[in-house]
Amino acid sequence: MSDVIADTKPFSWRFVSPLYMGSTLNPINSSLIATALVPIAADLRVSVAQTTMLVTVLYLASAIAQPTAGKLASEFGPRKIFLIGIVMVLLGGLVGGFGQDLTMLVLARILIGLGTSTAYPSAMLLIRLRAESAGMSKPPGSVLGALQIAGVVTAAVGLPIGGVLVEAWGWRTTFWVNIPFAVAAFAMAARWIPRDAAMRDSRTFSEVSSRIDLPGIIGFAAALATLLIFLFSLPVPNWVFLGLSVVLGAVFVWWELRAKHPFIDLRLLAANLALTRTYLRFAALTLCIYTVLYGVTEWIGTARGASSMETGLLLLPMSGLSALVAGPISKRNLVRGPLIVSALSSIAASIGILLLTTATPIIWILITTLIFGITMGTMVSGNQTALYLQASTDQIGTASGLFRTFGYVGSIASSAIIGIIFHKRVSDTGMHHIATIMIVMSAFALLLTIADRQLNPHKKETSAAS
């Protein structure tokens, strides 16, 4: 699948740099826009409620595109799909930067969502193929750890960056900022990532459609999109979309069980319950993390009167600590222990939120978010290593994308919970209700981990990569 490795080390900085840079673009763009919504509404003369579409469409596009990109990477080559995605990010930055109405900005966010979604599943497949080419029998832990730091932990950085950009140069910079990063990532990937193996040129459209399971991709997109639209409609539920999601989901399952090359191999997923549990753990704790990123920050900003920039800066220590925690754990390929710590720390921090009031000193809020930094670092490192070990090379692209999709479902469910509880008023009582839900989800993740006999504690593999 790749050229002969010329580097003395299989994972040189040249090989991994574009992968890391590309993987930061999706999480940062997820939160970057938050501080720009009010200025966009004022400039384009639309309501702030309408501008929230810019958040929604990126979530929708990303949740659908992640496993799709993984499937396409497995079929057409991860380098090619990675480069196409980066071009889409560049186009999204241009369309948004020059956008004169909300429609153009929505289109830009869709392009950015689709483009940034190719990075992580393509990177995971490239890393697996490179490891196999180098004869490595163990996961390249340090590489996976850095990828996960780039791909998830950086989400919290988007809030303060967005605040600085909007305050200094206006809301359009939240789109323009993608352009230099996209150009740099494309140049590095084109130069330093080996070309994909040549594919057969004689394949017809029908053969390609069958190989990638185009009907399955469309069915998955339709079922997930209608489900997410229903979640975003809360606290005023649109039951029509929930019904559509159930029907489309049933059709999708029916098709996938009969497809020759299924987009998502449901039989294999049912047989590989360890991978399914990894997805569920990741979704549950992602819900808690994003509740901190958006629910707790909304409470700090509204109930305590802090600015968006102050709130964003308050989360930076959490992001920094999570990066410090994730690196050593990933390098040692630890799974079970970190996952237990992630659930326990999430329970502890959620109890801390349960005790917060508007009179609580800011230092205690900072301590609580720092505990969530431990949750984030152990969660992302442990679950990603589990994913790498539980998915085969043929599955890793789609499996990695689906992993991210479960994360997006968790983050969207978090948004729905926050919207329901804070619908009328942001208050201490509402924050305590949210904390109770977080405790329940954290306990669920803990139960999934403790009861999982396939997370072998004695398999503490050490990485062969540095």
Question: By percentage, how much of the chain surpasses pLDDT 90?
Answer: 32
Q: Is the pLDDT of residue 321 over 70?
A: yes
- Per DSSP, helices labelled H in 78-140 are 78-98, 102-116, 119-133
Q: Is the pLDDT of residue 154 over 60?
A: yes
Question: Which pLDDT band holds residue 145 (cuts at 50, 70, 90)?
Answer: confident
Q: Is the pLDDT of residue 74 over 70?
A: yes
Question: Which pLDDT band holds residue 107 (cuts at 50, 70, 90)?
Answer: very high
Contacts (Cβ under 8 Å, ≥6 apart) of 248: 219, 222, 223, 226
User: What does the pLDDT read at residue 1?
Assistant: 41
Question: Which pLDDT band holds residue 6 (cuts at 50, 70, 90)?
Answer: very low
Q: Is the pLDDT of residue 33 over 90?
A: no
pLDDT digits (tens, 9 = 90+) for 171-205: 999 999 999 999 999 999 999 998 887 655 556 66
Mean pLDDT over each residue of the chain, to the nearest integer = 84
User: What does the pLDDT read at residue 201?
Assistant: 52
Q: Is the pLDDT of residue 457 over 70?
A: no
User: What does the pLDDT read at residue 204?
Assistant: 65
Q: Is the pLDDT of residue 4 over 50?
A: no
Greater pLDDT, 450 or 8: 450
Q: Is the pLDDT of residue 230 over 90?
A: no
Contacts (Cβ under 8 Å, ≥6 apart) of 315: 156, 159, 160, 292, 293, 297, 369
Question: Which pLDDT band holds residue 5 (cuts at 50, 70, 90)?
Answer: very low
Q: Number of helices (H) and strands (E), helices first, in the chain?
A: 22, 0
Where do the structural domains in the chain lie, given as residue ranges? 1-193, 214-258, 264-461
User: What does the pLDDT read at residue 240?
Assistant: 92
Considering only CA atoms, which of 222, 219, 199, 256 is closest in space to residue 72?
199
User: What does the pLDDT read at residue 7?
Assistant: 47
What is the average per-residue pLDDT within 302-319? 73
User: What does the pLDDT read at residue 249?
Assistant: 92
Least confident of 84-88, 102-106, 113-117, 145-149: 145-149
Q: Is the pLDDT of residue 376 over 50?
A: yes
Query: Comparing 1-193 with 264-461, is the CATH topology the same?
Result: yes
Cα atoms in the 13 Å half-sphere on the side-chain side of 427: 8
Q: Which fold has domain 264-461?
A: Growth Hormone; Chain: A; (1.20.1250)
Question: Cα separation of 293 and 162, whole Å?
Answer: 14
User: What amino acid occupies position 136?
Assistant: M
What is the average per-residue pLDDT within 373-392? 89
HEC per residue, 240-274: HHHHHHHHHHHHHHHHHCCCCCCCCCHHHHHHCHH
What is the average per-residue pLDDT within 159-165? 76
Greater pLDDT, 267 or 107: 107
User: What does the pLDDT read at residue 158?
Assistant: 73
Greater pLDDT, 178 or 306: 178
User: What does the pLDDT read at residue 118?
Assistant: 93
User: What does the pLDDT read at residue 161?
Assistant: 78
Least confident of 191-205, 216-230, 352-366, 449-463: 449-463
User: What does the pLDDT read at residue 307?
Assistant: 67
Structure tokens, 156: 């919290």
Burial annotation 55-77 (CB, 10 A radius, 16+ → b, else e): bbbbbbbbbbbbbbbbbbbbbbb
Greater pLDDT, 295 or 306: 295
What is the average per-residue pLDDT within 196-220? 73
- Yes or no: say if 463 and 333 are a contact pair by the CB < 8 Å rule: yes
Question: By percentage, how much of the chain surpasses pLDDT 70?
Answer: 90
Question: Which pLDDT band holds residue 439 (cuts at 50, 70, 90)?
Answer: very high
Considering only CA atoms, which of 405, 382, 385 is closest in space to residue 283?
405
Question: Cα separation of 379 and 374, whole Å?
Answer: 8
Question: Cα separation of 381 and 164, whole Å?
Answer: 29
What is the average per-residue pLDDT within 232-259? 88
Phi/psi class of residue 85: alpha, beta or left (left: φ > 0; alpha: ψ in -120 to 50)? alpha
pLDDT digits (tens, 9 = 90+) for 335-363: 899 999 999 999 999 999 999 888 888 88
What is the average per-residue pLDDT within 83-87? 96
In CATH, which superfamily holds the domain spanning 1-193? Answer: MFS general substrate transporter like domains (1.20.1250.20)
Least confident of 36-40, 210-214, 410-414, 458-462: 458-462
